[in-house]
Chain A
Amino acid sequence: MIQVRYFARLREALGRDGEELRWGVEIAQVAGLTRHLLARGGVWERELGPGARYRVAVNRQLAGPEAAIRDGDEVAYFPPVTGG
């Protein structure tokens, strides 16, 4: 299983702060997991589709679409950061 977490505006738009997904080869990369989420359509497509601005972290480290996801990992989707 992997833990997927959502923060800030994404958490509110998607209506959840996280979920558990069964790990598989189709989500063994960030790009694959994003495709899996996009396939849900609706708000998922709006928030994570082409043109949407968001960042991804794997195990609390910023990660690009090619980053690997292993069983047990924590993956987070969030908007560009605005602290300070």
Chain B
Amino acid sequence: MTVRVQAEDFDVAAELAALQARCPNAGAVASFIGLVRGNEEGQAVKAMTLEHYPGMTEKALAEIVAEARRRWELAGTAVVHRVGRLLPGERIVLVAVASGHRDHAFAACQFIMDYLKTQAPFWKKEELAAGSRWVEAKDSDRAAAARWTEPGSAA
């Protein structure tokens, strides 16, 4: 299990290769990469600054991964999240999950992202032409995380 918070970019191929090397019996790797959007509600985004709570962030991410491992049969996971000032098109986050079968890998990857968005202490501030503003938490993100606790969910 890899969990890292860092300012520098990550090499997707190297991260996936490292995960695969740790999980020689995995039959599937599913991954998600989050990027800085160039446009927010019709306004051009100049940059995005990510702040976090050092110490709590790593703990929260490790707990989310541990919960995913309780729910699905996973061979390994990698979560890398960047902080600091990022430009449109830059990578923000990588979640990669290795498993024996693709359904577990897909579901766990989505679960980790949905929980990360509502539980891990990161905050985004966007720079627009009109000035800077803190991004507000979205109801759709809360709903995405909540569906994993509903009866009959994919969990």
| A interface residue numbers (CB < 8 A to B) | 5, 7-9, 12, 53, 57, 60-62, 76, 78-84
Q: A8 is contacted by which of B55, B93, B118, B125 (Cβ under 8 Å)?
A: B125
| Dominant secondary structure of chain B at its interface with chain A | mixed
CA distance A80 to B138 in the complex (A): 9
**Chain B positions 124 through 135: 1 when the CB is less than 8 Å from some CB of chain A, otherwise 0:** 110000000011
Partner of B123, one of A7, A60, A62, A76: A7
**A7-B121, A7-B123, A62-B119 in contact; A82/B135 too (CB < 8 A)?**
yes
Give B contacts to A, CB under 8 Å. 34, 50-53, 55-56, 59-60, 81, 92-93, 113, 116-125, 134-138
- CB contact between A81 and one of B92, B113, B118 (< 8 Å): that residue: B118
Given known contacts A7-B51, A78-B53, is B59 in contact with A83 (CB within 8 Å)?
no
B80 to chain A, nearest CB (A): 12
Check A53 against B137 for contact (C-beta < 8 Å). Answer: yes
